[in-house]
Amino acid sequence: MTANSPLHSSTSAKNSSAKVTKPAKYTIIKQYICENIESGEWPQNAKVPSENELTLKFDVSRMTARRALQDLTEQGILVRSQGAGTFVATFKSQSSLLEIRNISDEISGRGHQHKAKQLLLKSIAVTEEIAILLNLKNNEAVSYSEILHYENDEPIQLEHRYVNVSLVPEYLLQDFTEITPHEYLSSVAPLTEATHEIEAILASSDICQQLDIPSSTPCLQVKRRTWSKQGVVSFAILTSPGDKYRLGSHLKF
Amino acid sequence: MTANSPLHSSTSAKNSSAKVTKPAKYTIIKQYICENIESGEWPQNAKVPSENELTLKFDVSRMTARRALQDLTEQGILVRSQGAGTFVATFKSQSSLLEIRNISDEISGRGHQHKAKQLLLKSIAVTEEIAILLNLKNNEAVSYSEILHYENDEPIQLEHRYVNVSLVPEYLLQDFTEITPHEYLSSVAPLTEATHEIEAILASSDICQQLDIPSSTPCLQVKRRTWSKQGVVSFAILTSPGDKYRLGSHLKF
DNA sequence: AGGCAAGGGTTGTATATACAAGTTGCGGTT
DNA sequence: AACCGCAACTTGTATATACAACCCTTGCCT
């Protein structure tokens, strides 16, 4: 529901019943541009008609033509340059987007119960690697935490986190064992950009023990770094023996 | 360069030198809204000022206020409903986005050479699973291919693909051994939406042999399904013994 | 009490206009 | 030939306005 296909957005009519509302003018222009790109008529880096040309061709105002170009620019299909013109984006620059639902959504989406337990929370001395990742000033305090997630009381996932203490509300840093992951997550990593690294690893023996999985199970390890206000590194270990724990994801190419 | 941070986009000045151009009015409004959301003043689902209210408060035209709201809506921070108003998006609905650079970009980004070799290409009988994944009609022909990617003449990744033959240009289905992955990829999976599944697996013995890695190395397996015009399933196996083959990725939370 | 209709508020689409800011290329000067 | 500057074109920002489509509440009518 949230995302609709990047191209073809306006071609297929509104689903359900025969409510065919006349498409907006700017969607017609968008469709025209998309068709020319898809057919290869306008290859990568090709110049597309300017706002003025579209204005004349489709007999609309400049703002309407502009909206079509702007929409497609936001979708990464076009690239605009003030003074120069509008061009078909090179596909390598419009990189693919993979959406990973967070743990809570993933579990509740399966209609299951989600609990989380704080296994460990302690102050640690910062190693240089972590200091860089967290973008720390001189010897700022850092906590290391481990959180175990449960799906219907069954352990499924373990999180390792390095948290810059000064940026987390104090009440969340007490030695509790039951937490609501949503609260924790949103306080530590709000609406900010982050970089992730995904890696396949073999779970260590103690992790396997905590997750109740066979030793040396292949796991996904995700490192997350946020910049801006909060600095956080989270290591999430996602086991995937079969369908049950598989990480559902969604990608726009 | 392509993506800028969702919030804070306008706060930090343009980098490099002291060229401080006056920020546009709509960025000021965006900043105002973002600050209220971040501070918790406007919680999830809270109603944000209407276009009219912003128009009066900031003494701008409605179209300028509108642009601020629209920009933030496209970033997933706000949700608009015609007739009802504009509201702060629930964070679960603005799911995280993980960007995976494609193989070519990944390798060329490291300044290395990228080659690919087609190991296998044959027509196969469709299993039911594959027929469903590819969204096949009755007994449409399917090809199975394996492509080995090289970084500086070193094997790094093996792709398994099930391709709906009828949708791929014929010249790409001949029995060639050297291919340009970019051409292949863009012909098979153009600008369309797809779903991905990531899974951690242990590489099978023959895969290990082809990739020249130790047996039972943990790998990432990515299944990709596109709908719309082309139906494709690709299995990409990404080894990650250390830093060398790690998949770089990028996520907006 | 329940249902229906009207109206006010809000977002969506569209137009016309004006100026600012950046790029490109042409042409004249040196 | 090399350089400079101007003009034309293009996109960016901003305003004022109009109507359409839609939501929600209010109030009237049954």
* A52 Cβ contacts chain D strand, under 7 Å: yes
In chain A, % of residues over pLDDT 90: 17
Distance, in Å, from the CA atom of B224 to the CA atom of B233, rounded to the nearest integer, reads 5
- Give me the phi and psi of A204, to 5 degrees please: -75, 170
Distance CA A87, CA A48 (A): 5
Candidate from A193, A198, A218 with C-beta closest to B6 = A193
Mean pLDDT of B121-132: 67
Which 3-state string (H, E, C) describes B97-134?
A: EEEECCHHHHHHHCCCCEEEEEEEEEEECCCHHHHHHC
> Is B252 an 8 Å CB contact of chain A?
yes
Q: Which residue has the tokens 């276009």?
A: B51
Q: Are B103 and B114 in contact (CB under 8 A)?
A: yes
Angle at B211 between CA B124 and CA B193, to 5 degrees: 55
| Residue of chain B with shortest Cα separation from A74 | B74
- A63 bridge partner residues: none
Q: Please name the nucleotide lying closest to B61, CA to C1'.
A: D15
Q: Is the CB of A62 under 7 A from strand C?
A: yes
A window 94-153, beta carbon within 8 A of B: 94-102, 104-105
> Does strand C come within 7 Å of the CB of B50?
yes
pLDDT at A19 over 60: no
Q: What is the pLDDT of residue A166?
A: 55
As a 3-state breakdown, chain B gives helix, strand, coil percent values, each rounded to 5, of 25, 30, 40
Contacts of A196 in chain B (CB under 8 A): 98, 249-251
Q: Tell me if A251 and B224 make a contact (CB, 8 A cut-off).
A: yes
Q: Is the pLDDT of residue A185 over 50?
A: no
Q: How far is Cα B65 from Cα B54, in angstroms, rounded to an integer?
A: 6
A63 touches strand C (CB under 7 A): yes
The answer to whether residue A29 scores a pLDDT higher than 70 is yes
Six-digit token string for A225: 């770094």
Residue B151 has pLDDT above 50, yes or no: yes
Residue partners of B229: CB distance under 8 A and separation at least 6: B167, B190, B192
Quick one: pLDDT at residue A240? 47
pLDDT tens digits, residue range A144-172? Answer: 777 777 777 777 777 776 766 555 545 44
CATH 3.40.1410.10 fits B98-252, yes or no: yes
Q: How far apart are CA B41 and CA B88, in angstroms?
A: 11
With a pLDDT cut of 70, the percent of chain A lying above it is 46
B73-79, long-range: CB < 8 A, 24+ apart? B74/A74, B75/B6, B76/A2, B76/B6, B77/A191, B77/B6, B77/B7, B77/B33, B77/B34, B77/B37, B78/B33, B78/B48
B-facing residues of A in 186-245 (CB < 8 A) are 186, 189-202, 218-220, 224, 226-228, 238-240
For residue A23, how many other CB atoms are within 10 A of its CB?
14
The confidence score (pLDDT) of residue B249 equals 45
The DSSP secondary-structure symbol of A122 reads E
Report in angstroms the alpha-carbon separations of B180 from A138, A249, B117, B121, B185. 49, 27, 9, 15, 9
Annotated domain spans of chain A: 1-93, 98-252
What per-residue confidence (pLDDT) applies to A8?
Answer: 39
**Model confidence over A187-216: pLDDT tens digits?**
444 333 445 566 677 777 877 787 777 777
Minimum-distance CB partner of B98 among A38, A191, A196:
A196
Beta strand A78-81 with A142-151 is: unpaired
Residue A106 near residue A253 (C-beta atoms within 8 A): no
Contact assignment for B100 to A101 by CB distance below 8 Å? no
- Range of lowest pLDDT (A203-212, B127-136, B169-178): B169-178
Q: How far in angstroms lies nucleotide C9's C1' from the CA of residue B64? A: 19
ipTM entry: 0.57
Q: Between B25-38 and B62-74, two packed helices, what is the crossing angle to 10 degrees?
A: 50
B83 CA from D30 C1′ (Å): 29
Q: How many CB atoms lie within 10 A of CB A206?
A: 9
- What dihedral angle (degrees, nearest 10) is formed by the CA atoms of A114, B249, B148, B245? -100
Tell me which protein residue sits closest to nucleotide C25, measuring alpha carbon to C1': A84
Minimal C-alpha gap between A142 and chain B (Å): 22
Cα gap A124→A145, rounded to integer Å: 10
Own/partner pairs, B52-57, CB within 8 angstroms, 24+ separation: B54/B29
* Total residue count of chain B as it appears in this document: 253
Q: Is the CB of A56 under 7 A from strand C?
A: no
Rounded CA separation A122/A174 (Å)? 10
What does the radius of gyration of chain B's CA atoms come to, in whole angstroms?
Answer: 24
- What CATH fold (topology level) applies to the domain A1-93? Arc Repressor Mutant, subunit A (1.10.10)
pLDDT of B212 strictly over 70? yes
Tens digits of residue pLDDT in A78-120: 889 999 999 987 754 333 334 444 566 556 656 677 777 777 7
Distance from CA of A43 to the nearest CA of B (A): 12
- Nearest C-alpha neighbor of B87 from the set B109, B104, B72: B72
In strand D, the nucleotides that come within 7 Å of a protein beta carbon are 8-18, 21-24
